[in-house]
Structures are given as C-alpha cells and as structure tokens.
Amino acid sequence: MPKPIILLTGSGLVPVFFALLADDSPRLCLNIFQDSEPAGFIILTVRFSMEFGGLDAFIDDLFIRPAYRRQGFGRAALKALFKECRKRKVRAEHVEVSRDNVPAKALYSSYCLKPGEDNRQLFSALLEINS
C-alpha cells in the first residue's frame, strides 16, 4: 500500500480521505512522489453518463505541495491519469477550476479540458446525511 498522502494537507481532510478509501465507488487515486518524498495526489471519480454513452470521470482533486509546483508534477499526473482512463474506457473527463486560477486552467487546457460551449453551469447542493 502506498504511503498515506492524507497527511499532506490539514488534519480536517484526514476523515475525508479515510471515507474515500473506504468507499467502493469507482475511482482512481494517484499518489505523486519525488523520489520517496510525497509531492501530491490526484483523485478521480467515475460514473456512467447517458450523455457520453459510457463512463465519464471527474477530477475531484489535484493537489501538488507548494515546494513541487510548476515543476511538471501536475502534468505528469494528468498524463498518467488520462492513460489509465483510456485503458478503463472512460469516454470523457471533467474538472472544476476557479476562474482566476490561471496556472491550473493552462494545465487543464493543455490536455484539451475546456469550458463548455453550451452555456451550462454546474449546480451543487450540500446534502445533510444522518449517520
């Protein structure tokens, strides 16, 4: 089992990562290392899409530690992710990015991820779940 990347960010995310690892939904978690030092992670969730007639995926999180940013780690992670998605027959990938995050938008654009041209917007609702 890879080193637990869950310790890279604040302790508030630790329960979220444990929940992710315990869930059996289709997903892909790639840990990113420089030698043996953790540099970041990328998490992809997968679902069936009627629109795309097969599996599509959502890059839920791509995190590179500040010391490793702008050194090609994000690009390498996306390259590995796209390769794995093609192998798994994923037909489309999606990502949500802040309008002002220019470096992330440039990275995603280099992999042909682009804003939709059909004027749709993503709507989200947080649901209260009783344990």
Q: Kind and range of the H or E element at 106?
A: helix 102-109
| pLDDT category of residue 79 using cuts at 50, 70 and 90 | very high
pLDDT at 84 over 50: yes
Q: Is the pLDDT of residue 49 over 50?
A: yes
Q: What is the pLDDT of residue 10?
A: 44
pTM assigned to the model? 0.73
Burial of residue 44, with CB atoms counted within 10 A of its CB: 0-12 exposed, 13-18 middle, 19 or more buried: buried
Determine the Cα–Cα distance for residues 85 and 22; give it in Å rounded to an integer. 21
Confidence of residue 51 (pLDDT cuts 50, 70, 90): very high
Q: What integer best gives the mean pLDDT of the chain?
A: 81
Q: How confident is the model at residue 55 (pLDDT cuts 50, 70, 90)?
A: very high
Percent of the chain with pLDDT over 70: 79
**Which domains are delineated in the chain?**
8-109 (3.40.630.30)
Q: Are 72 and 40 in contact (CB under 8 A)?
A: no
Query: What pLDDT, on a 0 to 100 scale, did the predictor assign at position 5?
Result: 35
Close Cβ partners of 101 (under 8 Å, ≥ 6 residues apart): none
pLDDT at 93 > cutoff 90: yes
17 pLDDT exceeds 60? no
- The answer to whether residue 66 scores a pLDDT higher than 90 is yes
